[in-house]
Homo-oligomer: A and B are copies of this chain.
Amino acid sequence: MILCDIGNTSYHFLNKENDYKESVKTFDPRTIKDKVYYICVNPSVKIVLADLENWINLAGFINMSNYYETMGIDRIVACEAIDNGVIIDAGSAVTVDVVSDGVFEGGFIYPGVNAMNETYKNISSALNYPFNFELDLNKLPKNSVDAISYGYLKTLYNEVMLHNKDIVLTGGDSDKLAKIFPDAKINKTLIFDGMKKIIKS
């Protein structure tokens, strides 16, 4: 069984235990003849895949009544993977979703690490620093690097901790955010756990 999570920039495959990525720009989905269960947030890839019989969109098999219409299918499937917790998916955006007893409680969208770095850089060249993920969250900053790092990370930290639940980190920047959420569980294939659960049920 091949699973595939398609984002704006890449196809993320899971083939048995083996996970790998292909670029949306260069990969041709017609080259796969086996059955692929997928979810896709990329509008142009969606159109291509709709015509391929061996590519099966899992979006049609989810009870959407808990979620909202414009919510990304990747967020929904990640929520399906757990029964309780806060899911932080750190990609181009950082999505934070809360699940209680298997029910989606709501969530919010925060800029991803790269997007936020760009934002500070564009506000002023004096704010063009990489974030300090090792900063002391208990101390108000007195230097520029920590002033933007605190602005980005401490604010996110407070809100996540308020929900007082287990934290699951997923997405490309999980390792970075793990530095401010040391008790979080990193699960980079959470989305595939959700997909498997949907296929099973």
In the assembled complex, the Cα of A70 lies from the Cα of B158 at a distance in Å of: 26
Please report which residues of chain A, range 105-138, place their CB below 8 angstroms from some CB of chain B when the two chains form the complex.
105-112, 115-116, 118-120, 122-124, 126-127
Name the interface size band of chain A: 35 or more
A140: chain B residues at CB < 8 Å are 98, 105-108
Does chain B have a CB within 8 A of A31? no
Q: Do A107 and B141 have beta carbons less than 8 Å apart?
A: yes
Q: How many copies are assembled? A: 2
In the assembled complex, the Cα of A107 lies from the Cα of B108 at a distance in Å of: 25
Which residue of B is nearest A8, CB measured? B124
**Partner among B96, B98, B150, B162 whose Cβ is within 8 Å of the Cβ of A108:** B150
In the assembled complex, the Cα of A126 lies from the Cα of B126 at a distance in Å of: 30
In the assembled complex, the Cα of A139 lies from the Cα of B162 at a distance in Å of: 12
**Partner among B92, B111, B159 whose Cβ is within 8 Å of the Cβ of A158:** B159
Does chain B have a CB within 8 A of A18? no
Does chain B have a CB within 8 A of A61? no
Q: Do B108 and A119 have beta carbons less than 8 Å apart?
A: no
**Min C-beta distance of A61 to chain B, whole Å:** 21
